Amino acid sequence: MNKIFLLLCFVLLSILPGCKKDKQVIDETPPVPSVRAIEILEPTYPTEGGINLGLKVNSVPEEVYNFGIMIFKDSTLREIITSKNIESPLQVKSYHINIKSGLKLDSVYYYSYYLNNKVNTNKDDILKFTFGKELKLKIDSISSNSRFVGDTLRLYGDFEGFQLKEAGIGNVKLQAYKYSDKVIYMLLSDKTPIGEQSIYLHSTYQKTIFKDKFSLHTASITDFPKEVQILEEVSIKGSNFSAYPKGNKLFINDEEVSITSSTPNLLKFTIPNTIKSATLHLKLQSNNQTIVTKDLVPMRIKKPTLVKLPSEISINDLFSLSLKDLPKTALKLVFDGHEASLFSRSDDERDHISDLYWEIGIANYLNKTAQLELQYLDEKIKFSPMVKINAPWFVASNEIPFDVADLTNPAVVVNNTAYILAGSNTSKSGLSFWKFNKISSNFSEMQVPFTCEYPVVTASKDKIYLYTGGNTDNFYELDPVNNTYKHLEDYSGKTRLNGTMNAVNGKIYMVTGHNYAPDYPYGRSEGDGTMYAYDVANNKWNRSVDFPEIEAANVYGRMRTSSFVIKNKLFVVGGSLHTGQTQTYAFDTSTNQWTTTADVPPMTNRSSIGIGDNGYLLYPPFYRYKSATNKWEEIPHILPRGYDTSHSIAFVLDDQFYYRLNSFNKLLRISVNELTK
């Protein structure tokens, strides 16, 4: 066994040397490291403060559209503090960026580079640094120590590396931005404070104030016209007005007006037609300052001067007036405290003369002379001499203390004293007779003690006769001297509404109107064409000759007619406003016959009166009926223009005709002779 084992060992030893490989040659030369295209450089710390961060470009990448350094709060690169872009095109060289401000002192930051919006996160390309000292922020100079609002103020200095957080003047923050590392632009807005102020800048952790003071230009007004006209273009001279269109604001009496043109030394504007005062206080706002006129002297609207003033005027004529330099707005012409209505106006722009025509209401003719007063804006000018009024009437009473009742001819005359049936606030019936005292021009009240539904009234000799419009107890006699009523025989016809009643030769005639019927529209049936006569001496009503007019289909007939007496004849007028019927009828009490007389325009509820051989109707215009010629004619200058004559009053005392117009609360009088002219 030992021999066999030794043999095997020998064989193996002889075989193993033949299997050995050739020896390998090893190159012991050290390897050459690869050069990166971009290297991040270690930071350096300038002695004056701040930090320099650098990059070295060893080869320029094929495509570069942005490249720079980015600073992070920690090594995770998740929170970016700031970034600094490096301008293209890139070159093979080292780039250094100086950070002077914007980082917290003694704090650790990390930085790397970004390329084409991608941050390099290679750990070998992320370096850290500690920001230990901030460079001092300083303004070396400014473009001007005084500017206008709207200008851009330039601040000069070494601002490279500083992050501008805030800039302003005084304690007001203004809009500012870095135009370059050497220039900051500050926009002077309408928030810029006035007076001498300090200019300041804020970086992230610093504030600096410029050594010299700054102030806005101070505007001043040196000259302006003292008298102007509405819509006139006005120039104001001065200095340091804003050259910007919206840099100046001009006010007249605290109301802003539009500036049409502006230069630093001249402003132009137009006096608006909306001003309310002739005294114009100017106030200018420019460069955030308020400037008033020198010595607070105001401008004034030029005072108009009288060119032509008529010495007299007649009623219903237009009153003409000529003035120079008359404003075109806010005008009033007043006669004795009563305003006139402007009818027309024409202006000569070359000579500045205005011709005006005014309509004067009746209230301005109550006196025989009138003080003419022109009111424009808040000024008043009284003209002399006073204007003579060619009006035929006089004021008989300055105030009428009652409302006229809804009936025609409410006035009667007994023993040369007038009584008017009218409304009353104290009478239980709501009606009273108002006695007129022509000497004192006052009225005294005599209450009607019973209800009157649709009353009509007339007088015969020394008594007053009243129909109440009721079904029973409807006719009374009043003794006005003793103020006592006597119940007479009731009116024997159907209850009559809105008729008329007159006394002729001892009889009282009632005619026209309507009969009451609740089932008909407006409580009226067909017109009442009957006429009844009351015999005063015998206290007896009898049917007389009916009204001759035939009622048309669907027409209620005549209502609210007026009537008057001439000698033996009763004339019935109007009451046909809605029917188109214009005929006037006369009833001859001596022959008991009706006749048709001359037509008069359709009207209703007007007073009329017979005086001598003529009848008179307050329409308007004022109509006169001449019985001798059977003609109606207008009388000018009796009724004023524009006054309503419904619910009017008319009566005669002595040789005076008295009348009152609707809505005009005065009693007028005129000579009866004037009515015959």
Q: Residues 517, 549: one domain?
A: yes
pLDDT tens, position by position, 302-328: 999 999 988 888 766 788 889 998 887
Nearest to 501 by CA among 462, 480, 475, 537: 475
**Domain-located, residue 637:** yes
Domain match, 284 and 321 both: no
In terms of DSSP H, where are the helices of 346-428? none
Strand partners, 32: none
User: Which residue among 99, 131, 163 closes a domain?
Assistant: 131
- Tell me, yes or no, whether 517 and 661 share the same domain: yes
Q: Are residues 584 and 558 in the same domain?
A: yes
* 12 lies in some domain: no
Strand partners, 442: 437
pLDDT of residue 5: 39
Q: How far apart are alpha carbons 251 and 262 in whole angstroms?
A: 15
Dist. CA 329–CA 314, nearest whole Å:
27
CATH number at residue 459: 2.120.10.80
Whether residue 604 is contained in a domain is answered as: yes
Q: Phi and psi for 466 in degrees, rounded to 5?
A: -125, 120
Q: Using CA atoms, how far apart are residues 454 and 265, in angstroms rounded to an integer?
A: 81
Residue tagged 């016809």 (tokens): 493
- CA pair distance 394, 396, nearest whole angstrom: 6
Q: What is the pLDDT of residue 394?
A: 82
Q: What is the DSSP secondary structure assignment for residue 675, as one 8-state letter?
A: H
pLDDT digits (tens, 9 = 90+) for 276-288: 899 999 999 999 9
Compute the distance between CA of residue 524 and CA of residue 494 in angstroms, rounded to an integer.
12
Of the three residues 191, 216, 241, the one that is the final residue of a domain is 216
Phi, psi for residue 504 in degrees, rounded to 5: -140, 120
Per the confidence metrics, is the pTM higher than 0.85?
A: no
Do 486 and 631 belong together in one domain?
Answer: yes
Same domain, 146 and 266: no
Query: Domain for residue 315, yes or no?
Result: yes
Q: Are residues 507 and 609 in the same domain?
A: yes
Residues in CB range of 97: below 8 A, 6 or more apart: 52, 53, 54, 68, 69, 84, 86, 161
CATH number of domain containing 319? 2.60.40
Q: How far is CA 319 from CA 359, 360, 363, 560, in A?
A: 6, 7, 15, 37
3-state secondary structure 519-585: CCHHHEEEECCCEEEEECCCCEEEECCCCCCCCCCCCCCCCCCEEEEECCEEEEECCCCCCCCCCEE
| DSSP-assigned beta bridge partners for residue 235 | 268
Q: Are residues 577 and 657 in the same domain?
A: yes
Q: Are residues 459 and 570 in the same domain?
A: yes
Residue 355 belongs to domain spanning: 305-389
Distance of CA 123 to the CA centre of its chain: 76
**Residue 100 maps to a domain:** yes
d(CA 609, CA 657): 10
**The CATH number of the domain where 80 resides is what?**
2.60.40.380
Domain of 165: which CATH number? 2.60.40.10
Tokens in use for 651?
């009566």
Buried b (16+ CB within 10 A) or exposed e, 314-326: ebbbebebbbebb
Question: 2 in a domain, yes or no?
Answer: no
Give the pLDDT means over successive 10-residue stretches in the chain (677 positions). 40 41 44 69 87 91 90 91 88 89 86 91 88 85 94 92 88 94 94 94 88 94 90 92 88 93 93 90 91 80 90 77 85 82 88 86 63 88 84 83 84 96 88 94 94 93 95 95 96 90 96 75 68 97 88 59 93 70 87 92 80 90 91 81 73 93 80 88
Indicate if 116 and 86 belong to the same structural domain: yes
User: Using H for helix, E for strand and C for coil, what is the string for 470-484?
Assistant: CCCCCEEEEECCCCE
Which residues, listed in sequence order, are joined to residue 279 by a DSSP beta bridge? 300
pLDDT confidence of residue 541: 97
Give the per-residue SS3 of 417-469: EEEEEEECCCCCCCEEEEEEECCCCEEEEEECCCCCCCCEEEEECCEEEEECC
Phi, psi of 104 (to 5 degrees): -75, 135
658 & 568 share domain: yes
List for the chain the helix, strand, coil content (%; round to 5): 5, 45, 50
Within-domain flag for 556: yes
In a domain, 6, yes or no: no
Q: At which of 216, 246, 275 does a domain end?
A: 216
548 and 623, same structural domain? Answer: yes
Q: How many domains in the chain?
A: 5
Alpha carbons within 13 A on the beta-carbon side of 134: 18
